[in-house]
């Protein structure tokens, strides 16, 4: 047996019921492991129980049945011998318990181990080695039970883990559903708000468009009115100018006719004066005065005087 044993699964949760005494009690029961005992007087009565699992392929069923029969016969002989010596007789072995699915005995045959040791060592030495091996095995099994987890503990831990996992899954699912419901509610509220804002924006845009159209129409009407007013003013100015030009033309014609009348009257008056002056001028006889001569030696005639050719006798 090695000095140290390997731990199965270290854990901080130790079974309070698994102690060294309980391990001894389990090992002393007929269904746990083979046990070989001898009284202190040196006789060789023994009680052997199989520690191997009934379904272990490494154990021969015929050998196990023969070992069980040998153990029963040895127990009966030892009980008879101990009745003559000292101490109460050992109880008869009870039939083995049916194998369970939670725990299987380790494949260690103590009687076979003792038989092999007895072939090499004396009986007392083999018995001592068997007891030492048993003590080491009990100590190592107890240490393993204290520091490791059994299948039951593993099942309990797996069950607790699965329960915690299912609870966590349910909590996550519930939280996801709640968050999804909250998100759907918030999304619906946002959608309604967006629809409301869309309707309001459309109304505002239509109102603004109507106001802009009204402003454009009013401005267009004002522009048309201003243009009409300007046209009216231009027509008024044009009419005034035409009237003024007509008045000026009439004035010019009037002045022209006045000037013409004045000139005609002046000319008539001048003619009348000339006629009167000619009529009233006294008549004079012909004069013999020579007319003035020019540079050529010809007589110079004045205007208004008829050229009279001198007559020579």
Q: Identify whether 141 is part of a domain.
A: yes
Confidence of residue 150 (pLDDT cuts 50, 70, 90): confident
The answer to the question of residue 249 being in a domain is: yes
Within-domain flag for 82: yes
Whether residue 288 lies inside any domain: the answer is: no
Q: Show which of 148, 163, 186 is a domain's final residue.
A: 148
Q: Are 112 and 51 in contact (CB under 8 A)?
A: no
Q: What is the pLDDT of residue 287?
A: 58
pLDDT of residue 119: 86
- pLDDT at residue 60 above 70? no
Over range 29-52, report the average pLDDT. Answer: 40
Specify the number of domains making up the chain: 2
Q: Residue 39: left (phi > 0), alpha (psi -120 to 50), or beta?
A: beta
Residue 289's closest CA among 280, 300, 276?
A: 300
3-state helix, strand, coil in the chain (%, to 5): 65, 0, 35
Residues 84, 185: one domain? no
Looking at the domain assignment, is residue 296 inside a domain? no
pLDDT at 70: 46
Q: Return the pLDDT at 19.
A: 36
- Domain limits for position 252: 174-274
Do 117 and 186 lie in a common domain? no
Residue where a domain terminates, one of 131, 148, 165:
148
Is there a single domain that holds both residue 133 and residue 212? no
Q: Same structural domain for residues 120 and 187?
A: no
What is the per-residue pLDDT across 42-56, written as a single tens digit (0 to 9) for each? 444 344 444 444 444
- Using pLDDT thresholds of 50, 70 and 90, give the confidence band for residue 292: low
pLDDT (0 to 100) of residue 237: 92
Q: Are residues 33 and 131 in the same domain?
A: yes
Question: Is 237 inside a domain boundary?
Answer: yes
Which has the higher per-residue pLDDT, 3 or 222?
222
The answer on pLDDT for 30 being more than 70 is no
The pLDDT value given to residue 274 = 87
Question: What's the pLDDT at 49?
Answer: 40
Q: pTM score, two decimals?
A: 0.31
* Angle, in degrees to the nearest 10, between helices 110-120 and 61-84: 70
User: Burial of 220 by CB count in 10 Å (0-12 exposed, 13-18 middle, 19+ buried)?
Assistant: exposed
Q: Answer yes or no: do 32 and 136 share one domain.
A: yes
Return d(Cα 200, Cα 193) in angstroms, integer.
Answer: 10
Instruction: Please say if the pLDDT value at position 106 is more than 70.
Output: no
In whole numbers, what is the pLDDT of the chain averaged over residues? 69
Is 307 part of any domain? Answer: no
pLDDT by residue (tens digit) across 161-173? 999 999 999 999 9
CB 37 within 8 A of CB 46: yes
Q: Is residue 67 domain-shared with residue 116, that is, in the same domain?
A: yes
Q: Say if 207 falls within a structural domain.
A: yes
């Amino acid at each position: 047996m090695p000095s140290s044993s390997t731990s199965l699964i270290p854990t901080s949760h130790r079974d309070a019921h698994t102690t060294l005494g309980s391990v001894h009690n389990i090992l002393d029961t007929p269904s746990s492991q083979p046990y070989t005992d001898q009284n202190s007087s040196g006789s060789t009565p023994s009680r052997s129980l199989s520690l191997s699992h009934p379904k272990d392929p490494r154990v021969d069923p015929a050998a196990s049945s023969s070992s069980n029969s040998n153990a029963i016969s040895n127990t009966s002989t030892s009980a008879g011998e101990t009745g003559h010596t000292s101490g109460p007789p050992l109880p008869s072995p009870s039939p083995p318990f049916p194998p369970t699915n939670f725990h299987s005995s380790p494949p260690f045959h103590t009687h076979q181990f003792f038989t092999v040791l007895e072939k090499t060592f004396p009986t007392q030495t083999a018995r001592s080695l068997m007891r030492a091996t048993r003590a080491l095995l009990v100590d190592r099994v107890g240490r393993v039970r204290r520091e490791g987890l059994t299948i039951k503990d593993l099942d309990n831990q797996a069950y607790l883990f699965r329960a915690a996992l299912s609870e966590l899954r349910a909590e996550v699912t519930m939280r996801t559903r709640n968050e999804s419901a909250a998100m759907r509610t918030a999304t619906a509220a946002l959608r309604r708000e967006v629809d409301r804002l869309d309707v309001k924006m459309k109304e505002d845009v239509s109102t603004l468009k109507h106001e802009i159209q009204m402003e454009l129409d009013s401005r267009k009407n004002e522009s048309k009115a201003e243009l009409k007013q300007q046209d009216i003013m231009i027509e008024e100015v044009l009419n005034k100018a035409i009237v003024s030009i007509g008045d000026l033309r009439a004035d010019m014609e009037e002045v022209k006719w006045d000037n013409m009348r004045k000139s005609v009257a002046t000319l008539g008056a001048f003619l009348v004066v000339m006629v009167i002056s000619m009529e009233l001028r006294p008549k004079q006889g012909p004069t013999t005065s020579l007319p003035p001569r020019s540079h050529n030696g010809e007589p110079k005639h004045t205007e208004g005087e008829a050229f009279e050719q001198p007559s020579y006798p």
